[in-house]
Structure 1
Amino acid sequence: MTTMTEASVREFKMPDVGEGLTEAEILKWYVKPGDEVTDGQVVCEVETAKAAVELPIPYDGVVRELHFPEGTTVDVGTSIIAVDVSGGTAPVEAPAPAAEPESEPEKKPEGRQPVLVGYGVAVSSTKRRPRKGPQVPVQEPAPVQETSVVIQTELNGHGAPVAALKERPLAKPPVRKLAKDLGVDLTTIVPSGPDGIITREDVHAAAAPEPAVVETPAPTAAPTQAPAPVPTYDTARETRIPVKGVRKATAAAMVGSAFTAPHVTEFVTVDVTRTMKLVEELKQDKELQGLRVNPLLLIAKALLVAIKRNPDVNASWDEANQEIVQKHYVNLGIAAATPRGLIVPNIKDAHAKTLPQLAQALGELVVTAKDGKTSPAAMQGGTVTITNVGVFGVDTGTPILNPGESAILAVGSIKLQPWVHKGKVKPRQVTTLALSFDHRLVDGELGSKVLADVAAILEQPKRLITWA
């Protein structure tokens, strides 16, 4: 019988904190055995294949046991912490009443044994009717066997079975011709067709060579010896880091995207001097005080305007249904480098946001990503992405599409360079943009129009007013 202490313990299982995830690594415990916890209190931080997530406990009580140490990868659905809720905050399940009636067992039908459900058949002297084979006569089997042996002995003369007296195998004329062409004796084939008919597959199987059976012992012996040698390396000269969590998911996604979607990348170098001046002016705007105002904000707005002018670029490829899915919304992804690897959270419905709203959303996205608190939901459903490689001093790149998206814009570093402006060579703020797109969805003309529109807006940011 379950004791009161055991009945008051609740096991908190690893939840699926993201769509389709199967495991998570415990990064940090915030509690230890003996600590009191309350409903909604964060007890640990875990890292999934998409992000680091804090897990709250769903009831009050005292921590009884932590089932796994930090750094352990745990399958979804596995209990990770036990909490004693005997304080009465959580309902205690009553013991099942079915355990009581052991002293007076239920009356069973005589001669029948209880099984998992109901009762088995009664033990009796009833005999089963003998099963009939497909070609066995109704007579008793023993006399028939003896008669057949006598007939074969008399006709053969020295007791050997006569092949001509065997019953003719059942097979259709095309199958018989196939067997003849392949040199297969139909009398040696075990039929698999209905009513004992030999099929073409039976003939091909009989004609197939059988040396494969001899080769089977070789592979079985190899695995027993393979695990013996343990690879070693010089720890002073090498460091090996297990691939898991966000890095593992990112690697798999990039490989899948690179070898699934045909990538095309186009480049344009643009004078962004006026955009940089506008950034400085916007920083003084009262409506944008306290918000994140930088070149990336205006580049994001320029891309959203370009998508509005060329909506066909905002789509995805449905391989299963062989359809192009055009999106009437833009979930703008922003690639962010974190200590756990590259992640791409997105701003939901970015197309509908004003410049101040976009600035606020961009600021929250960056801070959350740096703190490692990005939720899995924030990284799902993206349509188009921006990656700012310019922050690392890189001129440009050929970015790989985020899986399921149609395009990604890489922004290079903004540098003071000599530039022909109004017929004279002058120092101007210049950058290079690179747009990679899925060539199944976006042809060269459409991709060029989108990239040209972004460049035109950054060169003349007043177009944001007329084109938006």
Structure 2
Amino acid sequence: MSRIKEFNLPDLGEGLTEGEILAWLVKVGDDIELNQPIVEVETAKAAVEIPAKWAGRVQAIFHPEGSTVEVGVPIIAIDTDPNAGPVEQSTTGTPTADLPTPSAASLAAVEVAPEEGMVEPGLIGGVAPGGRTAVLVGYGPRNAPAKRRPRKGAAPAPAAPAQAAPAQAAPTQAAPAPVAPVQAAPVPAPAATPAAPTPALNGNGRAGGGPVLAKPPVRKLAKDLGVDLAALTGSGPLGSITREDVQRAASGTPAAAEPLTVTAPTTSAASAASFGADREQRIPVKGVRKLTAENMARSAFTAPHVTEFLTVDVTRAMKALDRLRDRREWRDVRVSPLLLVAKAVLLAVKRYPMVNSTWAGDEIVVKEYVNLGIAAATERGLIVPNIKDAGRLTLRELADAMTALVQTAKSGRTSPADMSGGTLTITNVGVFGVDTGTPILPPGESAILAFGAVREQPWVHKGKVKARLVTTLGLSFDHRIIDGELGSKFLRDIGDFLADPEAALLAWT
């Protein structure tokens, strides 16, 4: 039985076909444990940490950070029995049949583990040896710390060409050679030659071509602004590139003096990198932005949208929130107007269950559970995570769930599972100072509610014009399922709850 196992990029949910490797959380030679996070991958929806499928020692890494890998392609090889000694080598220096035969994709870029008496080959495919870096992304503590081997120094420069040639020739052989620690040819002592010019270093203190240290939101900002991360000097920890570095480069503001030499001048010419000669900026559409665009276009041209609006005096609701915050058991809970809107929606669904349904062609699927989606604007784009079976939660449990959902979304750690299976959505456009809008339905849902800003406005109250707290609701719904009467009653009930939540609770429950 083979002791070297290749781990393929798994399907991370809803039929995703590829993912971008953001950061390796381990390096070649590390001893890892079962279910230890080993790599962070960005899908079309979120950044996800993938755990190890086996315990053992990292034998090879097939794809560098920043590369896009299709689902099912090997990304890492793990020696599941590292204490059994070095992998047996043939007389030609290639591994024996104990190792699996990699796919052509995994031969494109491979970092190979060094063994005793061997030259550390680095990362075949142009990434500099020692390119693995400290982790800048990730969430939650690991169950146990990784056992790491003391890191060796970078291999001598002449060793890289010696490794690259076999890797390029491998796919053309009749029987592809398996990937494993490759015995390097003896490296003779270099003859005395004139000193070559020292290569310029980028913001990570490495020769051009190595991986760039930058968090996913910073990478996205750089793409949006057209800034080349490899040309920047990082001012963050370990030379990482920060948002300020990217914004400074986009605006053409020179960076503070650093001991490193920058490969591109940080003058006003840097701002020209954002635009072409025609003064037009071209931003690649990928990741969350691409998925959102596809979903919205599909929904807008599939479901016949109808939007209704209702303006509500929410003064009593805001006073009820103040009284709730003053209660001792609620003082450590985040209480916002959105909490009352969510509760109003959940109660109204019980009265009109058809609103919580899906159009399935020849039938309508009405759901007894409510996976309540909360639209969240993040640095990665618009995402809609949902609270599973929200209708079963108490008000306190709903408040805690909404707080966790928002915090996770803002940190970029929402999993694909949390964004799947939504049945009804709320979008809080009021946080941007907007009165309301005409939201587009998330695919598979029949209604979405826009909650506008709460403003103090003149309002007729008890026959007199007074300053009252007022908001506007906008409900978009699928007219194939929800007719005008049903949509109007649903929206009216939500408004009644927000106008007097205490009376509504007594009357409805």
Query: Which of 430, 455, 460 in structure 2 is aligned with 1:415?
Result: 455
Residue 281 of structure 1 corresponds to which residue in structure 2?
Answer: 323
Residue 34 of structure 1 corresponds to which residue in structure 2?
Answer: 29
Over 3 Å counting, the alpha-carbon distance change for 1:461 and 1:233 in structure 2 is closer
Over 3 Å counting, the alpha-carbon distance change for 1:10 and 1:460 in structure 2 is same
Query: Which of 12, 15, 18 in structure 1 is aligned with 2:7?
Result: 12
Greater shift, 234-243 or 378-387, is seen at 234-243
Residue 445 of structure 2 corresponds to which residue in structure 1?
Answer: 405
**How far apart are 1:383 and its partner, in Å?**
1.1
Over 3 Å counting, the alpha-carbon distance change for 1:416 and 1:35 in structure 2 is same
- How much identity, in percent, do the aligned residues show? 62
Residue 371 of structure 1 corresponds to which residue in structure 2?
Answer: 411
Asked if the contact 1:302–1:464 (Cα under 8 Å) also holds between the matched residues in 2, the reply is no
Query: Which of 275, 293, 298 in structure 1 is aligned with 2:340?
Result: 298
Q: For residues 407 and 344 of structure 2, what CA distance do their matches in structure 1 show?
A: 23
**How far apart are 1:389 and its partner, in Å?**
0.4
| Amino acid of the structure 1 residue aligned with 2:506 | I
Q: Work out which of the two has the higher radius of gyration on C-alpha atoms and give 1 or 2.
A: 1
- Does residue 1:248 correspond to 2:290, yes or no? yes
Q: Which TM-score applies when normalising by structure 2?
A: 0.61
Q: For residues 454 and 256 of structure 1, what CA distance do their matches in structure 2 show?
A: 28
- Does residue 1:54 correspond to 2:49, yes or no? yes
- Of structures 1 and 2, the one scoring higher in RCO (CA 8 A, sep 6+) is 1
**How far apart are 1:83 and its partner, in Å?**
2.4
Residue 110 of structure 1 corresponds to which residue in structure 2?
Answer: none
| Amino acid of the structure 2 residue aligned with 1:41 | Q
**How far apart are 1:344 and its partner, in Å?**
0.7
Query: Which of 460, 464, 467 in structure 1 is aligned with 2:505?
Result: 464
| Amino acid of the structure 2 residue aligned with 1:333 | G
| Amino acid of the structure 1 residue aligned with 2:432 | F
Asked if the contact 1:406–1:437 (Cα under 8 Å) also holds between the matched residues in 2, the reply is yes
Q: For residues 435 and 456 of structure 2, what CA distance do their matches in structure 1 show?
A: 12
Q: Say which SS state the counterpart of residue 251 (structure 1) adopts.
A: helix
| Amino acid of the structure 2 residue aligned with 1:272 | V
**How far apart are 1:51 and its partner, in Å?**
1.8
Residue 266 of structure 1 corresponds to which residue in structure 2?
Answer: 308
Query: Which of 400, 403, 421 in structure 2 is aligned with 1:360?
Result: 400
| Amino acid of the structure 2 residue aligned with 1:284 | D
- Does residue 1:441 correspond to 2:481, yes or no? yes
**How far apart are 1:86 and its partner, in Å?**
3.2
Q: In the TM superposition, what whole-angstrom CA distance separates every residue of 1:270-310 from its partner, at most 9, and x where no partner exists?
A: 11111111111111223334222110000100111111111
Asked if the contact 1:264–1:439 (Cα under 8 Å) also holds between the matched residues in 2, the reply is yes
Q: Say which SS state the counterpart of residue 306 (structure 2) adopts.
A: strand
Q: For residues 432 and 375 of structure 1, what CA distance do their matches in structure 2 show?
A: 32
**How far apart are 1:233 and its partner, in Å?**
6.5
Over 3 Å counting, the alpha-carbon distance change for 1:459 and 1:250 in structure 2 is same
Over 3 Å counting, the alpha-carbon distance change for 1:324 and 1:357 in structure 2 is same
Q: Say which SS state the counterpart of residue 283 (structure 1) adopts.
A: helix
**How far apart are 1:82 and its partner, in Å?**
2.0
Residue 22 of structure 1 corresponds to which residue in structure 2?
Answer: 17
Over 3 Å counting, the alpha-carbon distance change for 1:302 and 1:235 in structure 2 is farther
| Amino acid of the structure 2 residue aligned with 1:453 | D
- Does residue 1:337 correspond to 2:337, yes or no? no
Asked if the contact 1:287–1:356 (Cα under 8 Å) also holds between the matched residues in 2, the reply is no
Q: For residues 26 and 65 of structure 2, what CA distance do their matches in structure 1 show?
A: 12
Asked if the contact 1:279–1:294 (Cα under 8 Å) also holds between the matched residues in 2, the reply is yes
**How far apart are 1:324 and its partner, in Å?**
1.1
Aligned pair count?
325
Q: For residues 323 and 240 of structure 1, what CA distance do their matches in structure 2 show?
A: 43
| Amino acid of the structure 2 residue aligned with 1:411 | F
| Amino acid of the structure 2 residue aligned with 1:360 | D
Q: For residues 381 and 88 of structure 1, what CA distance do their matches in structure 2 show?
A: 45
Asked if the contact 1:268–1:433 (Cα under 8 Å) also holds between the matched residues in 2, the reply is yes
**How far apart are 1:374 and its partner, in Å?**
1.2
| Amino acid of the structure 1 residue aligned with 2:372 | L
Q: For residues 315 and 492 of structure 2, what CA distance do their matches in structure 1 show?
A: 17
Q: For residues 61 and 239 of structure 1, what CA distance do their matches in structure 2 show?
A: 47
Q: For residues 52 and 283 of structure 2, what CA distance do their matches in structure 1 show?
A: 31
Residue 179 of structure 1 corresponds to which residue in structure 2?
Answer: none
| Amino acid of the structure 1 residue aligned with 2:505 | L
Q: For residues 422 and 32 of structure 1, what CA distance do their matches in structure 2 show?
A: 70
Residue 74 of structure 1 corresponds to which residue in structure 2?
Answer: 69
Unaligned runs of 5+ in 2: 88-95, 99-273
Q: Say which SS state the counterpart of residue 332 (structure 2) adopts.
A: coil
- Does residue 1:450 correspond to 2:490, yes or no? yes
- Does residue 1:349 correspond to 2:344, yes or no? no
Structure 1 runs of 4+ with >4 Å offset = none
Q: For residues 239 and 394 of structure 1, what CA distance do their matches in structure 2 show?
A: 28
**How far apart are 1:95 and its partner, in Å?**
7.1
Q: In the TM superposition, what whole-angstrom CA distance separates every residue of 1:4-44 from its partner, at most 9, and x where no partner exists?
A: 9xx43221110111131111111122222233322221111
**How far apart are 1:452 and its partner, in Å?**
0.6
Residue 349 of structure 2 corresponds to which residue in structure 1?
Answer: 307
| Aligned residue runs from structure 1 range 203-214, under 5 A | none
**How far apart are 1:88 and its partner, in Å?**
5.1
| Amino acid of the structure 1 residue aligned with 2:79 | D
| Amino acid of the structure 2 residue aligned with 1:464 | L
Greater shift, 301-310 or 279-288, is seen at 279-288
**How far apart are 1:418 and its partner, in Å?**
1.0
**How far apart are 1:340 and its partner, in Å?**
1.2
Q: Say which SS state the counterpart of residue 471 (structure 2) adopts.
A: strand
Q: Say which SS state the counterpart of residue 81 (structure 1) adopts.
A: strand
Q: For residues 459 and 395 of structure 2, what CA distance do their matches in structure 1 show?
A: 30
Query: Which of 327, 339, 343 in structure 1 is aligned with 2:367?
Result: 327
Asked if the contact 2:275–2:281 (Cα under 8 Å) also holds between the matched residues in 1, the reply is no
Asked if the contact 1:419–1:426 (Cα under 8 Å) also holds between the matched residues in 2, the reply is yes
Query: Which of 420, 430, 437 in structure 1 is aligned with 2:470?
Result: 430
| Amino acid of the structure 2 residue aligned with 1:31 | V
Asked if the contact 1:263–1:437 (Cα under 8 Å) also holds between the matched residues in 2, the reply is yes
| Amino acid of the structure 1 residue aligned with 2:24 | W
Q: Say which SS state the counterpart of residue 260 (structure 1) adopts.
A: coil
Asked if the contact 1:53–1:375 (Cα under 8 Å) also holds between the matched residues in 2, the reply is yes
| Aligned residue runs from structure 1 range 188-207, under 5 A | none
Q: For residues 414 and 450 of structure 1, what CA distance do their matches in structure 2 show?
A: 21
Q: In the TM superposition, what whole-angstrom CA distance separates every residue of 1:109-158 from its partner, at most 9, and x where no partner exists?
A: xxxxxxxxxxxxxxxxxxxxxxxxxxxxxxxxxxxxxxxxxxxxxxxxxx
Q: For residues 426 and 40 of structure 1, what CA distance do their matches in structure 2 show?
A: 61
Residue 257 of structure 1 corresponds to which residue in structure 2?
Answer: 299
